[in-house]
Amino acid sequence: MSTTIAGPPTVPPPTGPPPSAPARPPAARGAGLPWVATIASGLAVLLAAGPVTAIVQGGAWFGHALAAVAVVVVLGLLLHRLGAVVVAAGQAVGVLVLLTVQFADDGLLGVLPGPGALQEFGALLAGAGQQIDTGIAPVTSTPQILFLVTAAFGLLAIGVHLAAVSATAPAAAGVPLLAVFAVPAALADTLLPWWAMAAAAAGFGLLLVAQTGFRGRLPGAVALVAVAVVLAVGVGTATSFVGTAGRFDSGTGAGGSGGSIGLSPFTALRGQLDQRDPVDLFRVRGLTRPTYLRALTLRQYVPDAGWQATRPAPGVGLPGPIQPQPTGSGEVADVEVENLAFRDYWLPLYGDPIDVGGLPEGPWLYDRSSGTGYTGRPRQEDGWREQAFLPVPTVSQLRQATGDSGIGPEYLDVTGVDPRVTEIAQQVVAGRSNNFDRAMALQEYFTGPDSQFTYSLQTAPGSGDDALVEFLTVGKAGYCEQFASAMAVMLRSVGVPSRVAVGFTAGADNGQYRTISTSDAHAWVEAWFPGIGWTTFDPTPLTDGRTIAPPYVQEAQGNPPDPENAPADTDLSPGNNAEQQPLPAPAETEQAPSVALAPPPAAEGSVPLWPLFVLVLLVAGAFVPVGLRVLARRRRLAAASAGGPDATGAAWAELLAESIDRGVDHPQSDTVRGAARRIVREHRLDDDAQQALRQVVTAVEASWYGDVHPAPGDLDEPVDAVRAGIAAGGSLSLRGRLLPRSVLQRTPTAKPAAEREKATSDT
């Protein structure tokens, strides 16, 4: 038996009119609109949005997400016949118009994003970043967060439409959809609900089966999506590695909240307080009188923004003793706190803690300088015990507490405060000769019978002036954050060291214990008095009975100050205690290893990171197929240039990939010669390219059937010439560049069919 190696393929030059391009599906030619695929892409985005419930409160965000997705879907259908580039650009403009209408006051003609609107967008992004960086998920649905949600879902919907509809590659849409899971998983410390994964699986399954419509395929499509949902639910409930907290939440969190609650460690000077249904957080036993429950304190004031948290100092390890029992006026209470649904970086404590117990060893510290118990990651303990000193100084003691403050200068810092605030504060405290009476005058300014201020869940609209000045002179309405922020700044401006405390009011007493809920979250003011310490004042004019009036406040309100009998201390300048000394550093025995805390609040005007993370994911998802194609091309050409047994296979695979990228199908049943003829015909190769193709085919057959392999460099020129000829026969579309077909489908090597050709030629 002898073996005959067939000669090179005969490829005559084309005669007559050029062959017409292969027929394309009607939808691709624009004869019909891809209704099913376009609508399915929008539904897939919305079904994948479930995890957002873990990072944003309420349901308002979904309406904004729905609006953004609807804009993308409608414009995708209207602009479909104009090509992928026009579609994507039109969708982006549509999302910008939506953002301008919903969130900007300075848009061109009310709908177009001009320079003023873009500045507003930057401020909204900065505000959203501050909430995310300093808050505990889920954050409140503020305008800043809703703007971020709208923009993010608009970008996401554009990316999914580009992949699933414009590029007809629905599987690639899974990359941008992954961002919907990646971002909440990175930001939320709560558990993702099982239904979120099930809905996302249903959306992705819908995307896969909707590309060519459901005609004749509906039963199979339903079965595929059902299986995907069942598998997703099974994985979500069985595995212990899904979700940032290690498992899926059943939605029946403590207190009926469906999750745990934390505090936002900053105060805002403008905004709206969105209250959800109250959720019980603590049951407290052992208190003899209503007392504020402090979680943390804020000492840094940022003008026109509010008070912000700073990193606590290394402190005393908990559980254990914190300090000896103070000797001042007050009482000691043994308090037991049962935690129902509070999860945070902060450990709420009463008064001046003496000893704290009932906590696990290691994670918790107490910073005595700020009065804050904290940990490196949000935790939810079952409860804790506290021996607390609850100071009850008398009015006389507070009025006589003068001299060196003994507190750090940062508590008198008024850098950047508008001079009009200082002027108002000095007018309010005029005639008050000691710090206590000044503090009482400021509290009465906000809460007294002659006050012009009112409690409201929403501040008055801003007019561009300093936010604090507007609150004091124009708006005169707000909630605890605004009142506490204003009084603390005004105290500093008249020389009284102050800070803002964030925590809870006393809650409801049923005779056996006090129940503290989310509706008791509160902010108040603490002023420093030498020899006494931090003392509570509450300037919020609440009318629901939740305000706590300490004994010294009640005494002062019943006994107005007597200027003649008060100690002389009339210097109202912020620096009246120029030689004050900071608190002594904790002893070495109290030092603990540094703890990785949440990042400090974002600086004014900074850009939040997680929307950039979403954008990076979208861009990376768009360029992954391109990158894979470039790597494959380099690998094949390098192997072809190196010569040897693998050279011809690599060269032939690369030529087939170039052809496939330009829309030519090469079935696995093709022989080498059959594929070569197809390349000549479909790409209209010129004579030089045809001759180069004959050289490549001859080398392939010689290597595969005759064990004669090319030397290094032998294939470089003919392969380059064929590639150039294929490129000259038709340029790549945007879809072909972003989503190369040779990456999304298997590139045939033709060797199996060639083996059959060899068998038929054996004699």
Residue 474 reports pLDDT greater than 90? no
Residue 738 reports pLDDT greater than 80? no
Confidence of residue 156 (pLDDT cuts 50, 70, 90): confident
Residue 657 reports pLDDT greater than 70? yes
Q: Tell me the backbone φ, ψ of residue 613, rounded to 5 degrees.
A: -65, -40
- The answer for residues whose C-beta is within 8 angstroms of residue 151's C-beta and 6 or more apart is 68, 95, 99, 611
Query: What integer is the mean pLDDT of 118-129?
Result: 80
Orientation of helix 435-447 relative to helix 419-428, angle to 10°: 100
Q: What percent of the chain has pLDDT over 90?
A: 28
Query: Do 57 and 274 touch, CB atoms closer than 8 A?
Result: yes
Residue 575 reports pLDDT greater than 90? no
- Which pLDDT value is given to residue 403? 76
Cα of first residue to Cα of last residue in the chain, in angstroms, is 5
Q: Report cis status (omega within 30 of 0) of the bond before 461.
A: no
Per residue in 593-607, pLDDT (tens digit) is: 333 333 333 333 334
Q: What is the pTM of this model?
A: 0.50
Which amino acid makes up residue 78?
A: L
- Which pLDDT value is given to residue 135? 56
- The answer for residues whose C-beta is within 8 angstroms of residue 732's C-beta and 6 or more apart is 661, 662
Bridge partners, 367 (sequence order)? 372
Q: Which helix (H) or strand (E) holds 177?
A: helix 174-187
Per residue in 332-367, pLDDT (tens digit) is: 999 999 999 898 889 999 999 999 999 999 899 999
Which amino acid makes up residue 39?
A: I
Per residue in 422-444, pLDDT (tens digit) is: 999 999 999 998 999 999 999 99
- Which pLDDT value is given to residue 163? 81
Residue 245 reports pLDDT greater than 50? no
Residue 461 CB neighbours (<10 A): 10
* Helix, strand and coil in the chain, % to nearest 5: 45, 15, 40
Among 9-13, 433-437, 633-637, 672-676, which range has the highest average pLDDT? 433-437
Q: Report cis status (omega within 30 of 0) of the bond before 138.
A: yes
- Which pLDDT value is given to residue 594? 31
Residue 241 CB neighbours (<10 A): 7
Query: What integer is the mean pLDDT of 516-545?
Result: 89
CA 694 to each of CA 95, 585, 649: distance values in angstroms, whole numbers, following the listed order: 53, 85, 15
Range in 59-68, 180-189, 618-627 the model is least confident about: 180-189
Is 436 buried (19+), middle (13-18) or exposed (0-12) by CB count in 10 A? Answer: buried
Query: What integer is the mean pLDDT of 634-650?
Result: 90
Query: What integer is the mean pLDDT of 544-567?
Result: 71
Is 35 buried (19+), middle (13-18) or exposed (0-12) by CB count in 10 A? Answer: middle
Confidence of residue 372 (pLDDT cuts 50, 70, 90): very high
Residue 218 reports pLDDT greater than 90? no
CA 711 to each of CA 82, 102, 646, 751: distance values in angstroms, whole numbers, following the listed order: 49, 67, 11, 20
Comparing C-alpha atoms, which of 379, 295, 382, 373 is closest to residue 344?
379
Per residue in 261-313, pLDDT (tens digit) is: 556 665 555 444 445 578 899 999 999 889 999 999 999 888 877 888 888 88
Q: What percent of the chain has pLDDT over 70?
A: 69
Range in 84-88, 268-272, 621-625 the model is least confident about: 268-272
Query: Do 685 and 9 touch, CB atoms closer than 8 A?
Result: no
